[in-house]
Protein backbone atom coordinates (compact mmCIF):
# COMPACT_ATOMS: atom_id res chain seq x y z
CA UNK A 1 0.00 0.00 0.00
CA UNK A 2 1.41 3.43 -0.87
CA UNK A 3 2.27 5.90 1.87
CA UNK A 4 1.24 9.55 2.09
CA UNK A 5 3.78 12.36 2.41
CA UNK A 6 3.14 16.05 3.08
CA UNK A 7 5.15 19.07 1.88
CA UNK A 8 3.27 22.20 2.89
CA UNK A 9 3.82 25.80 3.87
CA UNK A 10 1.97 27.85 6.44
CA UNK A 11 2.05 31.42 7.61
CA UNK A 12 3.61 31.77 11.05
CA UNK A 13 0.07 31.80 12.45
CA UNK A 14 -0.71 28.41 10.87
CA UNK A 15 -2.70 29.24 7.72
CA UNK A 16 -2.16 27.64 4.30
CA UNK A 17 -4.21 30.22 2.40
CA UNK A 18 -6.26 33.34 2.89
CA UNK A 19 -10.01 32.84 3.40
CA UNK A 20 -10.50 33.44 -0.33
CA UNK A 21 -7.80 30.88 -1.18
CA UNK A 22 -5.20 33.58 -1.88
CA UNK A 23 -1.56 32.53 -1.74
CA UNK A 24 0.15 35.87 -2.43
CA UNK A 25 1.76 35.87 1.03
CA UNK A 26 3.88 32.84 0.02
CA UNK A 27 6.06 35.21 -2.01
CA UNK A 28 7.44 36.56 1.28
CA UNK A 29 9.96 33.71 1.38
CA UNK A 30 10.76 33.40 -2.33
CA UNK A 31 14.49 33.59 -2.92
CA UNK A 32 15.94 33.25 -6.42
CA UNK A 33 17.35 29.76 -6.92
CA UNK A 34 15.99 28.33 -3.64
CA UNK A 35 13.09 25.87 -3.74
CA UNK A 36 13.45 24.82 -0.07
CA UNK A 37 13.77 21.14 -1.01
CA UNK A 38 10.57 20.95 -3.07
CA UNK A 39 12.13 19.43 -6.21
CA UNK A 40 14.03 16.83 -4.18
CA UNK A 41 10.77 15.93 -2.42
CA UNK A 42 8.89 15.68 -5.74
CA UNK A 43 11.63 13.53 -7.27
CA UNK A 44 10.75 10.86 -4.68
CA UNK A 45 6.98 11.01 -5.32
CA UNK A 46 5.00 8.75 -7.67
CA UNK A 47 1.70 10.65 -7.69
CA UNK A 48 -0.31 13.40 -6.03
CA UNK A 49 -3.62 13.45 -4.16
CA UNK A 50 -5.30 16.79 -3.51
CA UNK A 51 -8.79 17.87 -2.56
CA UNK A 52 -11.25 19.80 -4.65
CA UNK A 53 -10.51 23.21 -3.10
CA UNK A 54 -6.76 22.84 -3.70
CA UNK A 55 -7.44 21.56 -7.21
CA UNK A 56 -9.60 24.59 -7.97
CA UNK A 57 -6.75 26.89 -6.88
CA UNK A 58 -4.20 24.89 -8.91
CA UNK A 59 -6.36 25.25 -12.03
CA UNK A 60 -5.54 28.96 -11.93
CA UNK A 61 -1.79 28.35 -12.26
CA UNK A 62 -0.23 28.83 -15.69
CA UNK A 63 1.44 26.71 -16.75
CA UNK A 64 0.06 23.61 -14.98
CA UNK A 65 2.64 23.05 -12.20
CA UNK A 66 2.56 19.25 -11.84
CA UNK A 67 4.32 16.66 -13.96
CA UNK A 68 3.07 13.74 -11.84
CA UNK A 69 -0.30 12.01 -12.19
CA UNK A 70 -2.95 13.58 -9.97
CA UNK A 71 -5.88 12.13 -8.04
CA UNK A 72 -8.48 14.68 -6.96
CA UNK A 73 -10.31 13.64 -3.80
CA UNK A 74 -13.87 14.90 -4.14
CA UNK A 75 -17.34 13.54 -3.50
CA UNK A 76 -18.94 15.89 -6.05
CA UNK A 77 -16.45 16.74 -8.80
CA UNK A 78 -17.66 15.53 -12.18
CA UNK A 79 -15.12 14.36 -14.80
CA UNK A 80 -16.69 16.90 -17.18
CA UNK A 81 -15.37 19.66 -14.86
CA UNK A 82 -11.75 18.74 -15.63
CA UNK A 83 -10.27 20.83 -18.44
CA UNK A 84 -9.72 18.72 -21.56
CA UNK A 85 -5.98 19.48 -21.67
CA UNK A 86 -5.62 17.84 -18.22
CA UNK A 87 -8.07 14.96 -18.60
CA UNK A 88 -5.36 12.35 -19.26
CA UNK A 89 -3.43 13.37 -16.10
CA UNK A 90 -6.25 13.59 -13.56
CA UNK A 91 -8.45 10.94 -11.96
CA UNK A 92 -11.25 11.64 -9.49
CA UNK A 93 -11.44 9.51 -6.35
CA UNK A 94 -14.17 9.66 -3.73
CA UNK A 95 -12.36 8.62 -0.52
CA UNK A 96 -8.94 8.16 1.07
CA UNK A 97 -9.30 4.39 0.70
CA UNK A 98 -10.14 4.85 -3.01
CA UNK A 99 -7.05 7.06 -3.43
CA UNK A 100 -4.79 4.51 -1.74
CA UNK A 101 -6.28 1.65 -3.77
CA UNK A 102 -5.81 3.61 -7.02
CA UNK A 103 -2.23 4.43 -6.05
CA UNK A 104 -1.56 0.77 -5.32
CA UNK A 105 -3.17 -0.27 -8.61
CA UNK A 106 -0.79 2.12 -10.39
CA UNK A 107 2.24 0.77 -8.51
CA UNK A 108 2.86 3.93 -6.52
CA UNK A 109 4.96 3.78 -3.35
CA UNK A 110 4.89 7.44 -2.30
CA UNK A 111 1.98 9.87 -2.65
CA UNK A 112 2.24 13.64 -2.16
CA UNK A 113 -0.87 14.60 -0.18
CA UNK A 114 -1.81 18.27 -0.62
CA UNK A 115 -4.55 20.50 0.80
CA UNK A 116 -5.63 20.99 4.40
CA UNK A 117 -8.81 18.88 4.42
CA UNK A 118 -7.15 16.11 2.40
CA UNK A 119 -4.13 16.03 4.70
CA UNK A 120 -6.44 15.80 7.73
CA UNK A 121 -8.42 12.96 6.10
CA UNK A 122 -5.21 11.03 5.37
CA UNK A 123 -3.97 11.66 8.93
CA UNK A 124 -7.26 10.37 10.36
CA UNK A 125 -6.90 7.27 8.17
CA UNK A 126 -3.34 6.66 9.40
CA UNK A 127 -2.05 7.06 5.84
CA UNK A 128 0.60 9.79 6.32
CA UNK A 129 4.20 8.69 6.96
CA UNK A 130 5.92 12.04 7.27
CA UNK A 131 5.35 15.76 6.91
CA UNK A 132 7.59 18.62 5.86
CA UNK A 133 6.07 21.85 7.16
CA UNK A 134 7.60 25.19 6.17
CA UNK A 135 6.71 28.25 8.21
CA UNK A 136 6.78 31.48 6.22
CA UNK A 137 7.78 34.56 8.28
CA UNK A 138 4.49 36.40 7.86
CA UNK A 139 1.32 36.74 9.94
CA UNK A 140 -1.85 36.90 7.83
CA UNK A 141 -4.28 37.04 10.75
CA UNK A 142 -6.99 34.78 9.38
CA UNK A 143 -7.26 32.12 6.73
CA UNK A 144 -7.60 28.43 6.06
CA UNK A 145 -5.73 26.35 8.66
CA UNK A 146 -3.43 23.48 7.73
CA UNK A 147 -4.63 21.51 10.72
CA UNK A 148 -8.15 21.65 12.02
CA UNK A 149 -10.11 19.11 14.02
CA UNK A 150 -8.64 15.61 14.03
CA UNK A 151 -10.17 12.47 15.48
CA UNK A 152 -7.70 12.69 18.39
CA UNK A 153 -4.24 13.81 19.43
CA UNK A 154 -1.51 12.76 17.04
CA UNK A 155 2.00 12.65 18.51
CA UNK A 156 4.75 13.31 15.96
CA UNK A 157 8.47 12.54 16.00
CA UNK A 158 10.69 15.50 15.07
CA UNK A 159 13.31 14.53 12.49
CA UNK A 160 14.98 17.84 11.64
CA UNK A 161 14.53 21.59 11.36
CA UNK A 162 16.30 23.89 8.91
CA UNK A 163 16.32 27.68 8.73
CA UNK A 164 16.81 29.45 5.40
CA UNK A 165 18.22 32.96 4.79
CA UNK A 166 14.74 34.11 3.69
CA UNK A 167 13.49 33.49 7.24
CA UNK A 168 11.56 30.36 6.25
CA UNK A 169 11.85 27.63 8.89
CA UNK A 170 11.22 24.08 7.75
CA UNK A 171 10.60 21.08 9.99
CA UNK A 172 10.24 17.42 9.10
CA UNK A 173 8.18 15.09 11.26
CA UNK A 174 7.56 11.38 11.19
CA UNK A 175 4.00 10.27 11.86
CA UNK A 176 4.27 7.09 13.97
CA UNK A 177 2.07 4.28 12.72
- Let me know if residue 136 belongs to a domain: yes
Say if 17 falls within a structural domain: yes
Residue 29 lies in a domain: no
Residue 27 falls inside a structural domain = no
pLDDT at residue 119 above 80?
A: yes
Instruction: Please tell me which residue, 65 or 159, carries the higher pLDDT value.
Output: 159
The answer to the question of residue 134 being in a domain is yes
| Cβ neighbours of residue 45 closer than 8 Å, sequence gap 6 or more | 5, 68, 110, 111, 112
Separation in Å, CA 142 to CA 16, 19, 51, 52: 10, 7, 21, 21
Rounded to whole angstroms, the Cα distance separating 119 from 113 reads 6
Q: DSSP H helical segments within 106-168, as ranges?
A: 116-124
Considering its fold, how many domains does the chain have in total?
Answer: 1
Domain extent at residue 145: 3-22+35-174
> Cα–Cα distance between 130 and 173 in angstroms, integer?
6
pLDDT (tens digit per residue) in 135-176: 999 999 999 999 888 888 999 999 999 999 999 999 999 999
CA distance 117 to 16: 11
State the CATH number of the domain containing residue 119.
Answer: 3.40.430.10
Establish if 117 belongs to a structural domain: yes
With respect to residue 114, please indicate whether it lies within any of the assigned structural domains.
yes
State the pLDDT at residue 25: 92
| Cβ–Cβ < 8 Å for 17, 23 | yes
Domain for residue 109, yes or no? yes
pTM score, whole prediction:
0.93
Is pLDDT at 13 greater than 90 in this prediction? yes
> In angstroms, rounded to a whole number, what is the distance separating the alpha carbons of residues 120 and 140?
22
Residue 162 burial (CB count, 10 A): 13
Mean pLDDT, range 80-99, rounded to an integer? 95
Contact yes or no for 120/148 (Cβ under 8 A): yes
pLDDT for 34 equals 82
Question: Does position 91 have pLDDT exceeding 90, yes or no?
Answer: yes
Average pLDDT score over residue span 22-31: 86
Amino acid sequence: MPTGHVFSATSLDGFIARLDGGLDWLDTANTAGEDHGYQEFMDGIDGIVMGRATFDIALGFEPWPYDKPLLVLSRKLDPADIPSHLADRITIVRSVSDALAEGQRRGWDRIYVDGGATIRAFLDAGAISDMVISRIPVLIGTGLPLFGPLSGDLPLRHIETRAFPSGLVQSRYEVPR
